[in-house]
């Protein structure tokens, strides 16, 4: 088992990574100091892993909330179901929530924990590759609004993150591919050596090689932990983690949070960010080729969905949490491993990039 620490003083917590670690006696219980536990999961994950978590809790009895599966259910209405169940069971502010699922379950459970009685403990048990390398670490919690993704939320750190790679075996190929988008992101924003390793090992990751997965998850979480430790509330460096996300969130919002997975939208967003960076002369055509080849090998989207025209994308991108004083800010590249945030980009070149990736045949 690998152990990393997100060092935030009194709010520090461990990230535990390994195979079958959920089955280790008393591992989960170590981070629970209450008899009031509520597991939040969804209809897909519950039949697969709910019993396993209940066994890991031993003599601690736990309630459960099973929500629908899908980004379109990451709403205040769904969060209300969690809060209602806590109230019905008379849970106090010493209770603990367990998020058992992918990014949607983790985000909505974390936000419920942040809000319930002004804040209760929660633990992340991520069950997708994307959640294990990104959304479960760092304390970003939120639900979506029909006008924008993750617009209602809070920074709220978990007690622990337990990433068991054995649960990835039940994912379909598309979920693995989407998760790899966030893995690749760490190489692009700050770790060129990791990007080079991914170029050599992406096929092993797609084949779910355990050793490769554990290493990729560990390095991804190490990168994220370092960024979060330096900038918990995204006042500076943490914004770099949003490479591709302004484009990607616009895609997700435009599609009504259906059809594309988060990692697929962000992957295309990173390609668009690379293209725009190249149009400004900040990265080379060779860099763009390396980036494009990586996403192509991972079978991630190369074109916008047909229903999203360039003009529509531009409108959707203007409603973004990274906008400041009404000005759009983008995370762009000055090389592989060198991301930066700027509003000093050519709007005409941005329009050219959006047009470049628009296609009536661009359905995924």
Q: How far apart are CA 324 and CA 326, in angstroms?
A: 5
- Domains of the chain, CATH where assigned: 2-170 (3.40.50.1970), 173-357 (1.20.1090.10)
Q: Which residue has the tokens 């959304």?
A: 135
Q: How far apart are CA 77 and CA 88, in angstroms?
A: 16
Indicate the SS3 state at residue 333.
strand
pLDDT at 325: 63
Work out the pLDDT band at 25, boundaries 50, 70, 90: confident
Work out the pLDDT band at 13, boundaries 50, 70, 90: very high
How many DSSP H helices and E strands does the chain contain? 12, 11
pLDDT tens digits for range 134-189: 999 999 999 999 989 999 999 999 999 999 999 999 999 999 999 999 999 999 99
Q: How far apart are CA 337 and CA 328, in angstroms?
A: 23
pLDDT at 363 > cutoff 70: no
pLDDT tens digits for range 98-137: 999 999 999 999 999 999 999 999 999 999 999 999 999 9
Q: Which residues are catalytic?
A: 118, 140, 182, 224, 234, 238, 242, 245, 249, 262
Q: Look at residues 257, 262, 187 and name the one whose alpha carbon lies nearest to residue 220.
A: 187
Q: How many CB atoms are closer than 10 A to CB 142?
A: 22
Cβ–Cβ under 8 Å, residues 223 and 6: no
Q: How many CB atoms are closer than 10 A to CB 73?
A: 20
Q: How many residues comprise the chain?
A: 364
Q: How far is CA 14 from CA 146, 158, 159, 217, 222, in A?
A: 34, 9, 8, 14, 11
pLDDT tens digits for range 290-319: 999 999 999 999 999 999 999 999 999 988
Indicate the SS3 state at residue 26.
coil
Task: State how far Cα 288 lies from the chain centre.
Answer: 23
Q: Which residue has the tokens 């668009």?
A: 272
Q: How far apart are CA 270 and CA 241, in angstroms?
A: 11
Q: Look at residues 316, 318, 315, 314 and name the one whose alpha carbon lies nearest to residue 329.
A: 318
Q: What is the mean pLDDT of the chain?
A: 95
Q: How far apart are CA 66 and CA 41, in angstroms?
A: 5
The helix (run of H) or strand (run of E) holding residue 53 is: helix 51-56
Which residues, in sequence order, are bridge partners of residue 96? 37, 121
pLDDT at 319: 81
pLDDT tens digits for range 187-230: 999 999 999 999 999 999 999 999 999 999 999 999 999 999 99
Q: Which residue has the tokens 């039949």?
A: 47
């Amino acid at each position: 088992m690998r152990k990393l620490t997100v060092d935030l003083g009194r709010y520090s917590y461990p990230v535990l990574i390994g195979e079958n670690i959920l089955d280790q006696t008393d591992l989960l219980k170590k981070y629970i100091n209450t008899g009031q536990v509520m597991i939040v999961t969804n209809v897909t994950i519950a039949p697969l892993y709910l019993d396993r978590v209940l066994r890991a809790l031993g003599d601690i009895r736990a309630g459960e909330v099973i929500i629908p599966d899908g980004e379109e259910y990451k709403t205040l209405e769904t969060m209300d179901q969690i809060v209602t169940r806590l109230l019905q069971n008379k849970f106090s502010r010493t209770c603990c929530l367990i998020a058992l699922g992918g990014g949607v379950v983790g985000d909505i459970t974390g936000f419920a924990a942040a809000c319930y009685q002004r804040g209760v403990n929660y633990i992340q048990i991520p069950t997708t590759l994307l959640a294990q390398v990104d959304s479960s670490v760092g304390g970003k919690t939120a639900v979506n609004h029909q006008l924008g993704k993750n617009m209602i939320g809070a920074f709220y750190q978990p007690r622990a993150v337990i990433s068991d790679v054995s649960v990835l075996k039940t994912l379909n190929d598309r979920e693995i591919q989407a998760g790899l988008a966030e893995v690749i992101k760490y190489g692009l924003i700050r770790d060129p050596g990791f990007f080079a390793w991914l170029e050599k090992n992406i096929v092993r990751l797609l084949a779910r090689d355990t050793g490769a997965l554990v290493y990729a998850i560990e390095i991804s979480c190490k990168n994220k932990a370092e960024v979060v430790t330096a900038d918990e509330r995204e006042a500076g460096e943490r914004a770099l983690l949003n490479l591709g996300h302004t484009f990607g969130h616009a895609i997700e919002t435009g599609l009504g949070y259906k059809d594309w997975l988060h990692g697929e939208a962000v992957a295309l967003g990173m390609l668009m960010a690379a293209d725009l960076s190249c149009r400004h002369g900040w990265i080379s055509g060779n860099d763009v080729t390396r980036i494009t080849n990586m996403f192509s090998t991972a079978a991630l989207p190369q074109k916008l969905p047909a229903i999203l025209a360039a003009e529509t994308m531009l409108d959707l991108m203007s409603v973004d949490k990274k906008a400041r004083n009404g000005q759009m800010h983008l995370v762009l590249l000055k090389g592989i491993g060198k991301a930066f945030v700027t509003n000093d980009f050519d709007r005409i070149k941005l329009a050219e990039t959006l047009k470049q990736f628009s296609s009536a045949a661009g359905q995924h």
